[in-house]
Amino acid sequence: MTLSEAAPAKLNLALHVRARGDDGYHSLESIFAFVDFSDRLQFQSAATLTLGIAGPFAAAIAVTEDDRDAPQPNLVLRAVAALAAASGNPACGALTLWKAIPVAAGLGGGSADAAAALRLLARHWRLDWSLDRLAELAATLGADVPACVYGTLQLGQGRGEQLSPLHRTGLGGTPVLLVNPGVALPTGPVFGGWDGIDRGALDPNAPLACLRNDLEASAIAIAPVIAAVLTVVSAQPGVTLVRMSGSGATVFALFESESARRAAAQAIGRDNPDWWLAETALR
């Protein structure tokens, strides 16, 4: 029997950086949202643990947990090992990851994959674990992994792992366009370039247009093409919100209709054939 689990891409509808602690980590406030566009993880029973990776961004993912040369580490294998150790099950099975989300793009692809592995193996092992319990384990794998375990609208605080559900009417099903200029942007340098200015708390009930991503300026300093993406996407008819997600370089746009999103994707893709685009919707 083959089991399958989607790993939806993550958006930061807002990301406020408040402070940097003595441990070097930043205190964040963020609204996590998820879209229908996703990676996909499949599982089949096997005597040993293997992972095959396919898809347009497969080459960027480490094949083994110890592969340090790949641009992105293999969080799937780490997630399987962590859940196996916590539940007393053997870490075995044939996994296949279809990698459709760009790496180092602000879309939480690696975190989404790890979260999908936790949900998938919990299902295979028939663990009677709540998502809350899986999220506690997920926090050991990375700050965004707990939010990806839930895959629903969440307010994140601390490093992003302190979560509380949000309820905002009218967001579900909103057409979304994702645009990435083909630039991989590691998180560390972007946070390192933050100017250190606290611009105020995130009000989760405020209009999204009144919120912000405090890492945009730092990301643009490293990859100036992001400013061009923001300008091009903001000029599209029918757009209601344009913002960079996470530490970049992906820009997302919310649209008033699917037809407006489709027209924007066609226009942007025609004029910028080297940019990656995905038409999707908020979950």
At 167, which helix (H) or strand (E)?
none
How many angstroms separate the most distant Cα atoms in the chain?
Answer: 54
DSSP 8-state secondary structure symbol assigned to residue 23: T
Q: Which of 39, 99, 113, 144 is catalytic?
A: 144
State the catalytic residue, choosing from 10, 39, 99, 214.
10
> By the 8 A CB rule, do 51 and 76 touch?
yes
Contacts 24+ apart (CB under 8 A), 197-200: 198/17, 198/18, 198/19, 199/16, 200/16
Residue 60 host element (H or E): none
Contacts of 31 (CB under 8 A, 6+ apart): 12, 13, 14, 153, 154, 155, 156, 166, 202, 204, 208, 211
Is 10 marked active-site? yes
State how far the Cα of 192 lies from the Cα of 26, in Å rounded to an integer.
Answer: 10
**The token pair that represents 131 in the structure block:** 């998502």
Among 217, 196, 212, 246, smallest CA distance to 19 is for 196
Query: Is the N-terminal amide bond of 249 cis, ω within 30° of 0?
Result: yes
Quick check: 281 and 175 in contact, CB under 8 A? yes
For residues 225 and 138, give the distance between their C-alpha atoms in angstroms, rounded to a whole number: 33
Please confirm, yes or no, whether 274 is among the known catalytic residues: no
Which residues make beta-bridge pairs with 49? 93
**Catalytic residue IDs:** 10, 144
